[in-house]
Structure 1
Amino acid sequence: MTEAKLAPNLPDWMVQHANRYLSSGGTDGHMYKTTLPGRGEITTPALLLTTTGRKSGEKFIFPLYYGKDGDTYFVVASKGGAPEHPGWYRNILANPDVEVQVGTKKLKARARTATGEERARLWKKSLEFWPPYADYALKTEREIPVVVL
């Protein structure tokens, strides 16, 4: 099994965040704090999602904001409102078996895209932990996937 590595082409702030998360074993980086223009300071929970590359077969780590729904975690495939889905989402469509690190806890999971009422409910919950998702949805014509882990 290949060692997981940070996904290529991540923005600098995500690389710094993921490296802090990884080097601390999850004690630093689980709660991500940032200041956004017009929104002030936001603190949101973040996890590390490890997917298998759909082309390379390599393991890639992506830092993502998440929500909880009962005993499950969910993430949003927003890519900042870009017209195409993020690479990690395309990876899980090809292979839904993932690894997740939430703080210091590591687990294996199976990813699936929420649909219908479940997606609507989780989308609403996602706006509570990361309000900019609403702005991202306005920037794109695609329905932004909500992924249950």
Structure 2
Amino acid sequence: MTKAPRLPPRWFIRLFWSAHRAVHRLSGRRVGLWRPGAKGWGTLRLTTTGRRTGEQRSVIIGYFEDGPNLVSMAMNGWGEAEPAWWLNLQTHPDATVDLPDGRRQVHGRAATGEERARLWARWTEIDPNLNAHAARRPSETAVVVLAPGPTPPS
């Protein structure tokens, strides 16, 4: 049995992402976001509506592009709990993302079936340890698709 790759302590992961958000904010939003490369992920700033408060909540997350869609994972630093931004998106799927080249409206949803398998495989190309890290979580990690949006009413 292969041993899971080591992760930094949970406090360090949280501190890192908090510092990342602070650098982005203090730089006047000029530093901290980047586009994904051919074999790597980028970062975006996602602003959701709080599921309980209705207030705007922002977080910086990793992503890659799949055609017009942006793809992330609801991994919460590989912790057990679902990340708040994903819980917010499930309640209020219309959100805003800030990218290095501007802002856009998106509609979030979980990938399922074949689409999820394809997007998960793409993440494993970026992070060969993905499956080992995901095995630490008690539930399946959602692959989140941020499609151009918001979705018009039916």
How would you bin the TM-score normalised by the shorter chain? 0.7 to 0.9
Aligned to 1:81: 78
Counterpart position of 1:38: none
Matches within 5 A, 1:64-75: 64-75=61-72
> What's 1:112 paired with?
109
Structure-2 separation of matches of 1:43 and 1:126? 9
Give the TM-score taking structure 2 as reference length. 0.75
The equivalences for 1:91-102 within 5 A come to 91-102=88-99
Distance 1:72 1:25, change over 3 A: farther
Counterpart pick for 1:21 among 8, 21, 24? 24
CA change 1:129–1:26 in 2 (3 A) is: farther
Distance 1:80 1:72, change over 3 A: same
The alignment-based identity, stated in percent, is 33
Specify whether residues 80 and 13 from structure 1 end up closer, same or farther in structure 2 by C-alpha distance, changes over 3 A only. Answer: closer
Specify the code of the residue in structure 2 equivalent to 1:135. Answer: A
Give the aligned length: 131
Q: Normalising to structure 1: TM-score of the pair? A: 0.77
> Quick check: which has more Rg, 1 or 2?
2
Alignment root-mean-square deviation, CA: 2.3
Letter in 2 for 1:106: R
5+ residue gaps in structure 1?
A: 1-9, 33-41
Does the alignment pair 1:46 with 2:40?
A: no
Q: 1:101 to 1:124 in 2, by over 3 A?
A: same
Q: Deviations over 1:3-51 (max 9, x none)?
A: xxxxxxx82211221233344455421239xxxxxxxxx9641111111
Change (3 A) 1:132 1:48: farther
More strand by share: 1
